[in-house]
Amino acid sequence: MRLSLALPLAAIALSSLASAAQVAQTPPMGWNSWNYFAERVDDKGVRAAADQIVSTGMRDAGYIYVNIDDTWEGERDASGVLHTNPKFPDMKALADYVHSKGLKIGIYSSPGPKTCAGYAGSLGHEEQDAKMYAEWGIDYLKYDLCSFIPEVMEKQAPHDEAGQMRLMHAAYDKMGKALKATGRPIVYSLCQYGWDSPWEWAPALGGNAWRTTGDIEAKWQSVYDLLSQQAGLASYAGPGHWNDPDMLEVGNGELTLAENRAHFSMWAMVAAPLLAGNDLTQMKPEVKAILTNRDVIAIDQDSLGKQAERTYADGEVEVWTRHLSGGALAVAVLNVGSDRVATHPFHLSLAKLGLHGVQKGKDLWTGKNIELADNMPIELGNHDVLLVRIAQPK
């Protein structure tokens, strides 16, 4: 059962919105260590990622944040100050290095006593940790619920869902206030798996992004399941606050080239943060080409901030549309069929998209001009996508 304790949007504090407006006016773009490196992340690897973001052209394409996920934490001293572990000998020096590349740096913690990997969390040290992040020069915080569930929610409010949700809200609010008090613009990313519809209440707590789903895996079914959960959430996204279906798996696992292309396209359509999660030092040219496709990135980063809607589905094909600045329209035709090899004939209904007559646009993966006509046949490989930008829809 979902329990909503959200405040009406009209009651959101103006100060919270002003704080959020300092960052994430478009969905954050960057790289996160977890999907590929997990607990193997270290200072050297983060520096290498920063170097690669620059040398591959990713920085110039918009990837700015270099985010350290879990397992950087050491122990707290007698004063409660959290020290890094030996993998990260000097976090301030690392932040300075990342900044010297024209990039920003992110970090990870939890409102519980422990992180997901069992390292020190921020429970009871929120203001202290936020101040430390600001002193280091941190620009992004991923705040992951994890041990807050058994250690606080279940202990303090057993069998009381409403009480548990109030505790969760309060924990995220406490860190949000602590970050704001530092005076440093820091992207605040809530990672609590979509519990209690965070899109309804996270903006009031200073959240710039919130997870709408569980964790992603480098498998097509996971990618598609998380995409499907974005349907119906478009009205909650906009400049400064974004729905987050989790980080990108482009270039990871056994995803095919078509699946990587579709994954990236649809994250752009739903205005998701674009946080690459692959090994940038071993990135294949075809993966780089996907991650640095400027036309697709422009969809994600469109200044209007409108998230795509799933307009209609026909069998194993779905059609999503996204309104863009200047009156343009992005149309994604996605084949979600279960057979990776077969192709799927499909006839596009422009009428269902509210369009009339031949539509002239650009195929964002081939770079070629294209005309869309009502009932025209479109043949796509399974798990592939046709992504078209129509400058002047009619």
Catalytic residues: 144, 215
Tokens of 136: 């280091």
Pick the closest to residue 7 from 178, 201, 183 (CA basis): 201
Tokens of 326: 């200047």
Pick the closest to residue 212 from 186, 181, 244 (CA basis): 244
Alpha carbons 149 and 147: distance in angstroms, whole number? 5
The residue whose two tokens read 């539509």 is 359
Alpha carbons 161 and 102: distance in angstroms, whole number? 45
Q: Tell me if 274 sits within 8 A of 267, measured CB to CB.
A: yes
Looking at this protein, which amino acid is placed at residue 187? V
The greatest distance separating any two alpha carbons of the chain, rounded to the nearest whole angstrom, comes to 71
Element housing 159 (H / E): none
Looking at this protein, which amino acid is placed at residue 153? M
Give DSSP secondary structure letters for 77-115: -TT-PEEE-TT-S-HHHHHHHHHHTT-EEEEEE-SSSB-
Question: What sign does the dihedral 352-353-354-357 (CA atoms) show?
Answer: negative
Chain centroid to Cα 310, Å, comes to: 19
